[in-house]
Structure 1
Amino acid sequence: MLVYKAVLFLVICLIGTCKRFPSYMNKCYRNDNTTKTCLIEAVYKLKANFKRGIPEFGLPPMNPLILPQVSLENNDSFNAVFRNVEIFYLDELIIQDIDFNLNKNEFETKLIFPKLRIKSNYHIKGHILFFQLDGNGPADGNFTNVEVETKLQGRRYQKKGREYIKFFKMEVKEHVSKADFKFDGLFKDNLELTRQMNEIVNENIDELLLELQPAIHVAIEQTVLGLIARIFEKFSIQELFLD
């Protein structure tokens, strides 16, 4: 669940930059036959610094990446809040493809994460997998071969004689080859029922992820678009790319 939101947080690394570049970074030319190769190389250079963070870009340490809170809601039937979220192994990402079309204001990525681990404190209340849940406690999730595709659509606007991009729409596709969850405290004071429920969750993990997919996508869009907006509201196209 949280894996998609956490992974897509990394999209800002692929397109974000700043007026004062780190010494190990180069700006990419826009709409050039070297742009894709340059962007891929830039991401791998950024990846090498995920552990310490990249203050020049306003990015915190990302192994683990720490998020104060992540929320998932599916209509009125389900609500989950995850606090003190820690995401491990983001720096092991593999880039399959990057495409930034400035003429159409479109940005697309295809990423693979061989493994991810997410730890948090959760509170879940609602109906899921034919069960009514109301529990809280530590949660631990492990994911294998997480594939994520994103497509962002933006529009141009002028500010102080410079061109900026505002991203307003995002499409997400994802696939997890294997996932395993452990939720302590699903049923208060009943360790055996909690153990059995964890078994049921993991035996039906594909159905669980599919059932929560609409809520996951809303959380991703709100978070990632908000993060990207901060960068592109501050820096113009002329500042982000070479002519």
Structure 2
Amino acid sequence: MTKILLILTALQVVYGSNKSFINFGSFICPREDKALGQCLRNAFNSYVPQLATGVPEYGVPPCEPLLVPAISIQQSAGPISVTSSYTDVSVTGPSKMRVKNVEVDSKKHQVIASLYIPELRMKGNYNLKGQLFMLPIEGDGVFYAKYDDIDATVTIILGRKRRPNSVDALACKSLEVKFHVGNASMKLENLFGGDSDLGNAMNKFLNENWEKLSNELQAPMEKALQDVLKPLADHAFSILDADDVLLP
């Protein structure tokens, strides 16, 4: 281990003085946009396993489980009119994500990362009331949901952060998450006061129309992932000098 650290230190000294390379933690990355993106992809993937327990010293919260306090949904289309709320939602699976690609645009001050998340599993409490094809529907209990094959895009806008008596640090000005779900399923317990026949029929209907339900739940999930990834990006980019990445 000592020999590895000595070699790494020596490399950092050699490449750190070369403006064609950037020291990014334990990674020595080429400055050119395409090569830098590939290097950042490898660096970010080295961070991902730490997401489950979080990295408190860098302000990165644990994401297993990821907690979403409340979600409210109003659905009204044709014969469907349903108001539902979901509380104390816990989500597992974010720490299994992998960064597939990173594109750096030093002129636009932008980084776009493509992620793949095999699955997200959700559990929480729900309350639902409304009408479905003139049939009154209500329920109050526990729900389970699962998203599969998620392709996510993370768009980061870079900026500068002043350092006292030093050059500006690179900063993550904003971070936005958007994702596409390959498949989704949901189960609501205690629908219609526990009537199993009506409950099973309703769950069947929900799962046959999972895309609409997925779209309704997607925005809160994107926000929750954003809240996990933003502190990670804040720390990761703050170790770099802004002038090493941003072009005028």
> Do both proteins adopt the same fold according to a TM-score greater than 0.5, normalized to the shorter chain?
yes
Q: Does 1:185 align with 2:190?
A: yes
Q: Does 1:197 align with 2:202?
A: yes
Moved more, 33-42 or 193-202: 33-42
Indicate the residue corresponding to 1:48 in structure 2: 49
Q: Matched residues in 2 for 1:206 and 1:65: separation?
A: 24
User: What is the Cα-based RMSD across aligned positions, in Å?
Assistant: 3.8
Any idea what SS the aligned residue of 2:191 has? coil
List aligned pairs for 1:1-243, cutoff 5 A.
25-26=25-26, 31-32=31-32, 33-62=34-63, 64-74=64-74, 79-125=83-129, 133-152=137-156, 154=157, 156=159, 162=168, 164-167=171-174, 170=176, 172-176=178-182, 178-210=183-215, 212=216, 216-217=218-219, 219=220, 239-242=238-241, 243=244
Q: Matched residues in 2 for 1:137 and 1:229: separation?
A: 33
Indicate the residue corresponding to 1:9 in structure 2: none
Any idea what SS the aligned residue of 2:187 has? strand
Q: Matched residues in 2 for 1:129 and 1:97: separation?
A: 45
Any idea what SS the aligned residue of 1:47 has? helix
Deviation at 1:159, TM superposition (A): 5.2
Measured against aligned partners, the alpha-carbon deviations of 1:65-123 in whole angstroms (never above 9, x if no partner) come to: 23151424458866543323222232322322122434313232222222332112223
Aligned residues, how many? 210
Moved more, 41-50 or 25-34: 25-34
Deviation at 1:171, TM superposition (A): 6.8
Partner amino acid, structure 1, of 2:69? Q
Change (3 A) 1:106 1:223: farther
Deviation at 1:130, TM superposition (A): 8.2
Change (3 A) 1:127 1:199: same
Equivalent pair of 1:129/1:208 in contact (CA under 8 Å):
no
Any idea what SS the aligned residue of 1:172 has? strand
Deviation at 1:181, TM superposition (A): 0.9
Change (3 A) 1:129 1:41: farther
Equivalent pair of 1:185/1:194 in contact (CA under 8 Å):
yes
Q: TM-score, normalised by structure 2?
A: 0.64
Equivalent pair of 2:68/2:224 in contact (CA under 8 Å):
no
Deviation at 1:124, TM superposition (A): 3.4
Measured against aligned partners, the alpha-carbon deviations of 1:126-152 in whole angstroms (never above 9, x if no partner) come to: 567987654321111123212222334
Any idea what SS the aligned residue of 2:50 has? coil
Any idea what SS the aligned residue of 1:188 has? helix
Any idea what SS the aligned residue of 1:37 has? helix
Any idea what SS the aligned residue of 1:60 has? coil
The structure having more radius of gyration, on CA atoms, is: 2
Any idea what SS the aligned residue of 2:62 has? coil
Asked which structure has the greater RCO (Cα within 8 Å, sep 6+), the reply is 1
Partner amino acid, structure 2, of 1:216? Q
Equivalent pair of 1:72/1:216 in contact (CA under 8 Å):
no
Which residues of structure 2 form unaligned runs of 5+? 1-23
Q: What is the aligned-residue identity percentage?
A: 18
Q: Matched residues in 1 for 2:236 and 2:118: separation?
A: 34
Which residues of structure 1 form unaligned runs of 5+? 1-23
Equivalent pair of 1:31/1:101 in contact (CA under 8 Å):
no
Equivalent pair of 1:119/1:140 in contact (CA under 8 Å):
yes
Any idea what SS the aligned residue of 2:111 has? strand
